[in-house]
Chain A
Amino acid sequence: MKKIYTVLVENRSGVLSKVSGLFARRSFNIDSLAVGTTDDPNVSVMTIVSSGDERTLEQIEKQLNKKLDVIKIKTYEEEDAVSRELMLIKVKYNKSNRKDIMEIVDAMKAEIVDMSENQMLIQICDRPDRTAMLIRLLYQISIVEIARTGTLALPRCE
């Protein structure tokens, strides 16, 4: 099972290490973790995706709640949320595969944001399963490097 946790935390030094340390110490999985500021400068938001059995997923929420720097937690399943990931992929290309790549980029609604004679930098902002799909599609064409934000998510509008 997968769960998404939107965790509002006090914006203090060491909070990220406290939260990630909790996951390490209790053997909880982190599938992805993204941290950013919010409209309130004293509050940061962490979006954590984790997987495990039901009891583990419940423990994650309870243990996070015990941390004194955690203000509030929202927990939800993937299907109840809008989730996005931003990814940059650099690939090597040549004459013979250039067209294929551009077709993939088009089909995936990705974008070429930088290019040289033999490299392309592709940007995609999409659901995590679709960013994963793009990686699979480009895998044969030799990926040079990847940077990705990890999943950001918010529950759907009420």
Chain B
Amino acid sequence: MTGSEAMAKCLEMEKVEVVYGYPGVAIANFFDSLGATGIRQVLVRTEQNAGHMASGYARTLGRVGVCAVTSGPGALNLVTGIATAYADSIPLVCISGQVDSDLIGSDGFQEADVTGACESIVKYSYLIKNVNDIPRVFREAFYIANTGRRGPVLIDVPIDVQRAEIKSFEYPAEVSLRTYKPTVKGHIQQIKKAMSELKRAKRPLICAGGGIFLSGAKKELRSFAEQHKIPVVHTMMGIGVLPTDHELNFGMVGNNGGMAANKAMQECDMLIMVGARVADRAVANPDTILENKVLVHMDVDPAEIGKNVGPTIPIVGDAKHIFEDASELEISIDTSAWLGHLREYRKLPNPLKFSDKAVNPAVFIALLSQNMADRSTYVADVGQNQIWSCRNVNVRDGGRFFTSGGMGTMGYAIPCAIGAKMADETRQVVAVCGDGGFQMSMMEFATMKEENVSIKVVVLRNNFLGLVREYQHYSLNDRYEMVRLGSYPKLEDLANAYDISYFRASNMEGLDDLIRQFLDEDGASLMEVIVDPADTVK
């Protein structure tokens, strides 16, 4: 058995269903061996998108997403995909081919120090020098990626190692890493302490982040919140922890969040942060949030607790386990006055005004998400479209919302949506982009068509890089440098080129019907939605 056959065998052992990738000579042997297994190989159009597709797949199923690329430029093109996954704690195993072991360090053709380049954006990385290490390394990589705080793991495999003969293939049943033992179960004394604080609290609040999905704690969070009638707010990565219309959901916090959520953060006397980093976008002045409250911070990564704010009660562990343990401790609190108070904030009008010359993006997104099927997935790109999406999307029970929260990577939505659709064909998947992010990823329409997967793509088109334009409007005296995208490409022609149905909305008339037609279309469809460039998010 050769090294590349062993690599393919490892993926079979891990029950991998699909590998996203792009070949080159340094990884061709691996793809050759992979072809002999039943594992689906998806040829993307640029390597970064292999990472994003694997990310969409991983987020949909809670399993490890796998991508494979060649050495040098191939691997370096994937770097942004890896960093995007790292910032949002998405479990990936990324395999890169490497030049011949003897050539490493000689600046050979298509050689790059990929493990070095990725050091600060991976959970762990390997450069395999001995073919016999392959089974152990793969077993460890999958384990590391999908336990503790999830994240990408990189495996760099020189071409001579892929060609070499392995002595014997034995896939390790157990992983033994003396340096890696993630704490999963929260300390019961800490949980008890938090619960006795909760008993005293008049205005408790849960702020939930993406960690809820990663730990599979959605159900546990919901029953805990419902049991004690605790209002819930969430970060951008936490959209969908509760359905948007749930009576306890008060929306997204942070500088792009809603009034009710931010008021709740300020006024609560007990804040339970769970699976959230207390990062700059969600909490502008982390030190001040402590002033009038007890802070309980739950996270599986001990380094996140106390990184940006020192909590009163830290609980290291997996959210699912912590909520399960907490639910067994009987307490009763009355939050009706607090909930009533917060409901008043919901009624306050939104001061943001939109142009009536084109489509109102806020109304559009609300209509779009309301018309989407049950158990559908909404993927938002980055820019104004992302913020409008976060504020106006309606996620129902079983629905999912994906976006690049930490890294803010433009061009994420389309490849992520393709990966999400491949992971679960029964879900309707809609990607919403601006015209900037769309043009960074539209080449993947070819992958989508060739692979016979159908996603719905919305382009909110204003011919500008809107979020930067908005910054220039407010902070740089309307000097619109480097933000004019212009009117190309013509999206209708582009849709034709890929045999995708095309829809266009330039005003509010008949919008609801148009959205329904767009969503009901068999196969892939593209909808161009004209937005006034003067529309802002602030």
* A contact residues vs B (CB 8 Å cutoff): 10, 14, 17-18, 21-22, 25, 55, 58-59, 62-63, 65-71
Query: Could you say which residues of chain B place their CB within 8 Å of the CB of A68?
Result: 123-124, 144, 177, 179-180
In the complex the two chains form, is A17's CB within 8 Å of B306's CB? no
Query: Could you say which residues of chain B place their CB within 8 Å of the CB of A70?
Result: 179
Q: Which of B116, B178, B303 has the most CB of A within 10 A?
A: B303
A69 to chain B, nearest CB (A): 6
The residue that B179 contacts in the complex, of A14, A17, A58, A71, with Cβ under 8 A, is: A71
Instruction: Count B interface residues, CB 8 Å.
Output: 18
The residue that B303 contacts in the complex, of A25, A63, A69, A71, with Cβ under 8 A, is: A63
In the complex the two chains form, is B307's CB within 8 Å of A59's CB? yes
A21-B119, A69-B179, A71-B178 known, 20 other contacts, Cβ within 8 Å: A10-B179, A14-B116, A18-B119, A22-B120, A25-B120, A55-B306, A55-B307, A58-B306, A59-B306, A59-B307, A62-B302, A62-B307, A65-B303, A66-B301, A67-B179, A68-B123, A68-B144, A68-B177, A68-B179, A70-B179
**Residues 132-187 (chain B) with a chain A CB within 8 angstroms:** 144, 177-180
Is B115 an interface residue when CB atoms closer than 8 A count as contact? yes
Given contacts A10-B179, A68-B124, A68-B179, contact A59 B119 (CB under 8 A): no
A18 to B117, CA, bound (A): 11
A138 to B127, CA, bound (A): 47
B156 to chain A, nearest CB (A): 11
Q: Which of B123, B179, B307 has the most CB of A within 10 A?
A: B179
Q: Residues 295-319 of chain B: 1 if any A CB is under 8 Å from the residue's CB, otherwise 0?
A: 0000001110011001000000000
Query: In this complex, what residue of B is CB-closest to A70?
Result: B179
A25 to B86, CA, bound (A): 15
A-B contact pairs, 20 of them (CB 8 A): A10-B179, A14-B116, A17-B116, A18-B119, A22-B120, A25-B120, A55-B310, A58-B306, A59-B303, A59-B306, A59-B307, A63-B303, A66-B301, A68-B124, A68-B144, A68-B179, A69-B179, A70-B179, A71-B178, A71-B179
Query: Could you say which residues of chain B place their CB within 8 Å of the CB of A25?
Result: 120
Query: In this complex, what residue of B is CB-closest to A64?
Result: B303
Query: In this complex, what residue of B is CB-closest to A18?
Result: B119
A59 to B306, CA, bound (A): 8
Q: Residues 104-127 of chain B: 1 if any A CB is under 8 Å from the residue's CB, otherwise 0?
A: 000000000001100110011001
Closest 4 CB pairs of A and B: A62-B303, A25-B120, A68-B124, A71-B179
A17 to B430, CA, bound (A): 42
Given contacts A10-B179, A55-B310, contact A17 B119 (CB under 8 A): yes
Query: Could you say which residues of chain B place their CB within 8 Å of the CB of A21?
Result: 119-120
A14 to B123, CA, bound (A): 15
A143 to B127, CA, bound (A): 44
A67 to B307, CA, bound (A): 16
B209 to chain A, nearest CB (A): 18
Query: Could you say which residues of chain B place their CB within 8 Å of the CB of A17?
Result: 116, 119
A55 to B115, CA, bound (A): 29
In the complex the two chains form, is B302's CB within 8 Å of A65's CB? yes
Query: In this complex, what residue of A is CB-closest to B182?
Result: A66
B311 to chain A, nearest CB (A): 12
Query: Could you say which residues of chain B place their CB within 8 Å of the CB of A14?
Result: 115-116, 127
Query: In this complex, what residue of A is CB-closest to B303?
Result: A62
Query: In this complex, what residue of B is CB-closest to A10?
Result: B179
Query: Could you say which residues of chain A place their CB within 8 Å of the CB of B116?
Result: 14, 17
Query: Could you say which residues of chain A place their CB within 8 Å of the CB of B302?
Result: 62, 65
B189 to chain A, nearest CB (A): 20
Query: Could you say which residues of chain A place their CB within 8 Å of the CB of B178?
Result: 71
A65 to B124, CA, bound (A): 13
B94 to chain A, nearest CB (A): 16
A145 to B380, CA, bound (A): 59
